[in-house]
Amino acid sequence: MNSLVRRKVKIVCTLGPSSRSVEQIAGLIEEGMDVARLNFSHGTHEFHRQLILSIREASRQKGRPIGIMQDLQGPKLRVGMLPKEGVELKKGDTVLLYPEGSAPKLSTHGKIAIPISAEIAQSVSVDAEKGARILFDDGKIATRAILISPPEIVVEVEVGGRLTSQKGMNLPGTPLSIPCLTEKDLEDLSFGLSQGVDAVALSFVRTAQDIESLKEKMRKITNDAPNVIPKIERAEAIEFQDSIIDVSDGLLIARGDMAVEIGAEKVPNVQKRLIYSCNQLGVPVITATQMLESMISSPTPTRAEASDVANAVFDGTDAVMLSGETASGSYPRETVETMARIILEAERTHSLYSRHTEVLPMPGSIVNAIESSAAQIAEQVGAVAIVCLTHSGMAARALAKYRPDAPIVAILDNETMLRRLSLVWGIRGEIIPKIVATDDLFAMVESVLSKNGWAEADDLVVVTAGVPTLRRGTTNMVKVHRMGMQNERVII
């Protein structure tokens, strides 16, 4: 069985200037990309339209379904346009923050005037209190508010540095009332839905209501809404993580902004808690930010980065994400290949180091009972694969929650649903043109497995399905099947 099928943890690649052509994207797929992330903080709709067309074509050429995740920008807390060389801020300097595009109302005498994003200036200045910490450029520059007169704030520099245009702002410890979705986000969302994206990542999430609000807006646009994946980056989101996970289709641990918000020393513990909570509920979780960042400019990772990726695998993450490494780096293809090798090695020894604890089936759920049993049976009989016949993908997702050693093969009649499973741990899949009768079910399973090299004659596989076959929501059967023995009918 090839390494692509053996690898359980998925790889998300951010696409950009270094990975925009069909040929470049096909190379990433060949090395192991499962999901393409489109960062809507950059690029026009036409740029993303062409990128989506290239992803779909590369996916067709390589014969692998690739999910597309649209990452909405959210309310960008950022500095406005500054001189090309930036502004040098020294400890003790007094800085006036004012809305970009307007003239300062407060006196600039003795102050360095710095514009900030106009869309957030009013809200931030109302939410912040005197003494609040305001950080810039991922925390490299630290200031503290000494005077607030909405929409302007006067701060004193505590840790200086050179500040350049468009650098981010963070207000750790200050609850912010800015809505998750800006007008730009709503326009981008409508575009993404029209292009058939498979998941939408929501920035700046604070409570479960933010996810519910996005889902409600999507229902007004489409009857087949993609998965919603909140990005956990603010302290409020961590506080309400359980209720957020309950209403989400996945979770993205955005460790960069999180480190600035809560302190880098707290991130590893939060990462483990979030992954554990998601694992218990079977909610796919992505670990992101700086996983192999040195490979933006180097063909090899640091030892610390290799350990970081491996530890995310041991923690139980469903997917790991690359950002600048594949979007703008010099070695995008090598980075994906390296990440795949690290994952495979970590998975090879997962029984020694894994922190994934046993998950119990949900009481009263037939599909959970069936899939939990399938995982146990596959281990006991040494099955080479577990095959889920499913309409919605729910059975395959339920099976993934139990982390079986055997690869999970989802067989569906809906390509969209298969792409939406591309983030879920351990699942590979195949599309069938139509539903087959129960009598033909095992012949079809054998055909799919043999064609892809996932099983050979005399191999044992475990099959779960619904009888009547593939009717929505009817998973009620598990069978141990020996390849080449279609007349064998041992149903458990």
Active-site positions read: 37, 78, 231, 289
Distance CA 45, CA 51 (A): 10
Q: Are strands 427-431 and 475-482 parallel, antiparallel or unpaired?
A: unpaired
Q: Are 33 and 3 in contact (CB under 8 A)?
A: no
Distance CA 420, CA 438 (A): 26
To the nearest 5 percent, what fractions of the chain are helix, strand and coil?
40, 25, 40
Degrees to nearest 5, angle at CA 26 with 288 and 293: 30
Residue 180 tokens, joined: 């998750």
Contacts of 228 (CB under 8 A, 6+ apart): 199, 200, 202, 211, 214, 215, 218, 248, 249, 250
- Phi/psi of residue 427, nearest 5 degrees: -95, 125
What is the Cα 162 distance to its own chain's centre?
32
**Run of H or E residues at 259:** helix 255-262
Contacts of 39 (CB under 8 A, 6+ apart): 14, 16, 71, 323, 327
Q: What is the DSSP string of 91-128?
A: TT-EEEEEETTS--SS--TTSEEEEE-HHHHHHHHHH-
